[in-house]
Amino acid sequence: MRRAAKVSILGAAGGIGQPLALLAKQSNHVGHLTLYDIRGTPGVAADLGHISSPAQVAGYLGEDLPKALEGRDVVIIPAGVPRKPGMTRDELFNTNASIVKSLAEACAKHCPNASILVIANPVNSTVPIVAEVFKKAGKYDPRKIFGVTTLDIMRARTFVASVKGASASLTHNKAISPTVIGGHSGPTIVPLLSHLKQFSFTEAEVEALTKRIQYGGDEVVKAKDGSGSATLSMAAAGWEFGEAVIRAQKGEKGITECTYVDIGNGKYFAQRTDLGKDGVEKIHEIGALSAFEQKLLEECNKELAANIKKGVEFVKGH
């Protein structure tokens, strides 16, 4: 059995970063946790350091980013500005693209073999940004760069259970977890409810559930009334995926997650993926789709292509 993982969270003092760091600190799979942000991380690290769990914690600021990255097995990037009411993920692009690019450059230099988990939105574009930075540095391994789309799966799991009157415990049961493919924004999110054989859905239920899964983030942005976006649920989803990556690194078999990855020919797409010691081991076929899902996929592919191109061209132009 491999040693406990060395994990770094970039953007660790933010709305997603702090609860994500708390979950990582409480995990028995983490041996050393480094936190980085432009401010606040020494305090967050001191606070977490009082929790009686195995992981050692250190917080870094500013020019100390290399110290936060050296020797890391996994780097999780929730850094960036959050969405505000009426703002699309794509409108976040100009600010967050620069942040992600600079962090990716540091990762390529100081921990090129780490698995990089990108939460910073818009994920459809920021993952290609990270990939292009690693390509420029000659360090690119497509098996180790992931867009975290787990919140879409988590929402699907929760919303399906609520519609079908399933017990609360089933919302945590991956056996009823729908596959969600495509990307991680509105129309690029394609839930495959037809693959969920435990339940049958009316046409109206499929349409309503699909829309809620696609735009669940808007519910939170509206409910928070200008004070933020989905942070707690995103942290929970981010750690669910992060811990899966760590478990696979340690040699655990049979770990399959939906995640947004390089599928070849300049394309990135979220689908069911087997994880192993070195990252992606196998990308599953999508399988048969209903007519409704096929239409969603066509709409997804158009927008996704533009999102990917935007990320690639950003790196080429900077």
Q: Where in the chain is the domain with CATH 3.40.50.720?
A: 5-149
The answer to whether 63 and 104 are in contact (CB under 8 A) is: no
SS3 1: coil
What's residue 226's pLDDT?
Answer: 81
Residue-wise over 177-191: b if at least 16 C-beta within 10 A, else e? bbbbbbbbbbebbbb
- The candidate with the shortest Cα–Cα distance to 43, out of 75, 78, 18, is 18
Q: What is the pLDDT of residue 133?
A: 98
- What is the Cα Rg of the chain in Å? 19
Provide the pLDDT for residue 89: 60
Domain with CATH 3.90.110.10 in the chain: 150-309
Give which of 167, 168, 189 is closest to 179, Cα–Cα.
189
State residue 94's pLDDT score.
84
In the three-class reduction of DSSP (H, G, I as helix; E, B as strand; rest coil), residue 100 is classed as helix
10-residue block means of pLDDT along the chain (318 residues)?
86 97 97 97 98 97 97 97 68 88 98 98 96 98 98 94 71 73 97 92 97 95 88 97 97 96 97 98 97 98 96 94
CATH of 5-149, one of 3.40.50.280, 3.40.50.720, 1.10.150.120, 3.40.50.1820: 3.40.50.720
The CATH number corresponding to 150-309 among 3.90.110.10, 3.20.190.10, 1.10.1740.10, 1.20.1250.20 equals 3.90.110.10
Instruction: Tell me what pLDDT residue 90 has.
Output: 66
| Residue of 184, 195, 284, 318 with catalytic role | 184
- 184 counts as catalytic: yes
Determine the pLDDT at residue 1: 46
Alpha helices, DSSP H, located in the chain: 17-25, 41-48, 65-69, 93-110, 123-136, 150-163, 203-214, 216-223, 232-249, 291-316
